[in-house]
């Protein structure tokens, strides 16, 4: 079988497999970056604990402090997952330290990490990074997409998981989810509905990636196999 696949790979100039065999392939290793909001991080951790995400978690890194008795820190300690608190400033994003901490991972997940990663960081890490954007891209890029959507009077609010590129919020889209809103909704209910979408949308993107269901093509597009 190995010889047959090697011959096929040679014919099509294939460099890597797009198929994951659960019984044979090791789980990919990821690190998670998060800021002060916990909803995506907590959801991700619990899905991982329940075996829904075929990945290893190498570390959780945050630019916001979490006390020793918080739910997240207790969870990580119970499962032996390192937690690194790296406070950032406008002039120092601690990117060199982050690169060192994640150098042995296969990919990164930004679970509402509210820092823009520099092109230097992206080149230094050199592997895939998955982000969850709390808006329905390509609309409402950048900061405060809840407020942007609310002020625009939209009837659908959404969340987008995508690969990170040097262009802010413009990487290849992996998954999008939407929910209906109306004139009865407030900015607060917009945010609540969006946060629920964000958790689901990010989890799906991680699962698709770990199961090698995603093919990138034509620069900024993806095919996601069901």
Just list the catalytic residues.
169
Three-state SS for 84? Answer: strand
DSSP category for residue 197: H
Contacts of 63 (CB under 8 A, 6+ apart): 35, 85, 86, 87, 88, 94, 113, 114, 115
Q: Can you give the length of the chain in residues?
A: 226
Here the contacts of 81-88 (C-beta below 8 Å, separation 24 or greater) are 81/57, 82/58, 83/59, 84/59, 84/60, 86/61, 86/62, 87/63, 88/63, 88/115
CA distance 215 to 217: 7
Pairing of strands 173-180, 156-163: antiparallel
CA distance 135 to 156: 10
| Backbone torsions φ then ψ of 108, nearest 5 degrees | -115, 155
């Amino acid at each position: 079988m190995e010889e047959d696949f090697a011959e096929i790979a040679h014919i099509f100039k294939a460099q890597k497999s797009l198929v994951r065999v659960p019984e044979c392939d090791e789980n990919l290793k990821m690190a998670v970056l998060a800021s002060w909001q916990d909803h995506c991080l907590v959801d991700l951790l619990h899905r991982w604990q329940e075996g829904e995400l075929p990945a290893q978690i190498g570390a959780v890194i945050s630019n916001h402090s979490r006390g020793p008795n918080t739910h997240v820190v207790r969870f990580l300690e119970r499962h032996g997952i390192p937690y690194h608190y790296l406070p950032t400033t406008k002039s120092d994003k601690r990117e060199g330290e982050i690169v060192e901490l994640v150098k042995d991972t296969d990919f990164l997940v930004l679970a509402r990490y509210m820092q823009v990663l520099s092109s230097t960081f992206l080149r230094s890490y050199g592997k895939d990074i998955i982000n969850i954007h709390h808006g329905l891209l390509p609309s409402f890029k950048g900061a405060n997409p809840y407020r942007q959507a609310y002020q625009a009077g939209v009837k659908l609010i959404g969340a987008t998981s995508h690969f990170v590129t040097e262009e802010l919020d413009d990487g290849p889209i992996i998954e999008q989810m939407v929910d209906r809103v109306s004139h009865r909704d407030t900015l607060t209910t917009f945010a609540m509905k969006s946060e629920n979408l964000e958790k689901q949308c990010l989890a799906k993107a991680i699962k698709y990636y770990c199961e090698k269901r995603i093919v990138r093509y034509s620069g900024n597009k993806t095919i996601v196999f069901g």
